[in-house]
Amino acid sequence: MKSLAGKVAVVTGASRGIGKGIALALAEEGATVYVTGRTVRPDAAALPGTVGETAAEVDRRGGKGVAVQVDHANDEQVAALFAQVAREQGRLDILVNNAIAIPKELTQPGPFWDKPISNWEMIDVGLRSNYVAAWHAARIMTPQKSGLIVALSGYVGVTYTYNVIFGTCKSGTDRMARDMAIELKPHNVASISLWQGFTYTERARENLKTVPGMASQLNSAVGTSVEFPGRIIAALARDPAVMKRTGGTFIAAELAQEYGITDVDGRVIPSLRAERGAPIWAPV
């Protein structure tokens, strides 16, 4: 039997990119995965990928995919998602908070005052949305006395990357995961922030072609597939001692080495702790 057979997961922002990769990695371990995102038609977004396509691939990988169109800026849609999970499954084992709004100005040069105030949307969908999803998830997980909430973050939590709002969002993500852990710990629900490094998403591949200087900053030894963090989350979900990690911020590459995980091509991904910084928050 696969290690996550019978487990139910929600992965936010999984039409494409890291969210899709995480959904597929959980599927390979037999999980039922609720795939959320805004895109339901292939022609509705500049980048490829829909929630339905991801859910279908989850099925092909050995899990059960459930596509749900959700705008994570809309609290009513988020509430309906978790009500559907509770109604259909009666439980929730894993929440992965991955969804984030990425404005086109993110990778463009220039100071914050030359960019539109609307870039604050990264806080609305990227930090506030994490809180709303975790709020609903906790109401399912705490009565069952089990569960894992993982927030996707990165070295940007301590090192300037791209712009002011992006760093603020990710440092807030780390702190939120830690403080949630304090309140969830008595209920045996774990909350962890996971630092993923550069990932070869559809958007990142486009940026490598079009954003000046991007290609020269990166190399294949550092970049990972979109499925790499999902492999780590699957390991956390099946770890009987996961509560010892709750409240901590962890570098994905370091957890991978602890769990003996490689990327999909067999590479051991290096930690960039020395180059980019170390997490602030330890387990509680």
Tell the residue number behind the tokens 């539109």, with chain if given.
Answer: 116
Q: What is the DSSP letter of 112?
A: G
Compute the distance between CA of residue 10 and CA of residue 187 in angstroms, rounded to an integer. 20
Q: Report how far apart, in Å, the C-alpha atoms of 110 and of each of 115, 157, 164 are.
A: 7, 20, 11
- Residue 283 inside a domain? The answer is no
The band of 119, judged by pLDDT with boundaries at 50, 70 and 90, is: very high
Closest of 59, 48, 47 to residue 23, by C-alpha:
59
pLDDT higher than 80, residue 131: yes
Tokens of 187: 């209920």
Mean pLDDT, the chain, as a whole number?
Answer: 93
Residue 107's pLDDT is 85
The confidence band for 48, taking pLDDT boundaries of 50, 70 and 90, is confident
Q: pLDDT, tens digit, for every residue of 225-281?
A: 999 999 999 999 999 999 999 999 999 999 999 999 999 999 999 999 999 999 999
Flag whether 250 is in a domain. yes
Mean pLDDT value across residues 111-132:
97
In a domain, 3, yes or no: no
Structure confidence at residue 211 as a pLDDT band (50, 70, 90): low
Confidence of residue 150 (pLDDT cuts 50, 70, 90): very high
| pLDDT (0 to 100) of residue 166 | 96
pLDDT range class, residue 65, cuts 50, 70, 90: very high
Q: What's the structural domain count of the chain?
A: 1
As a whole number of angstroms, the distance between CA 113 and CA 97 comes to 29
Q: Is residue 284 part of a domain?
A: no
Inside any domain, residue 1: no
The CATH number covering residue 257 comes to 3.40.50.720
Helix pair 129-144, 164-184: axis angle to 10 deg: 20
Q: How confident is residue 216, by pLDDT bands cut at 50, 70 and 90?
A: low
156 lies in a domain? yes
Residue 197: both structure tokens together: 């490094």
Residue 54 domain-assigned (yes or no)? yes
Amino acid at the residue 40: V
Residue 63 confidence (pLDDT): 98
Confidence band, pLDDT 50/70/90 cuts, at residue 206:
low
Q: What is the domain range of residue 206?
A: 8-276
Output b/e per residue, 13-33; b: 16+ Cβ within 10 A: bbbbbbbbbbbbbbbbbbbbb
pLDDT tens digit sequence for 151-180: 999 999 999 999 999 999 999 999 999 999
Predicted pLDDT at 49: 87
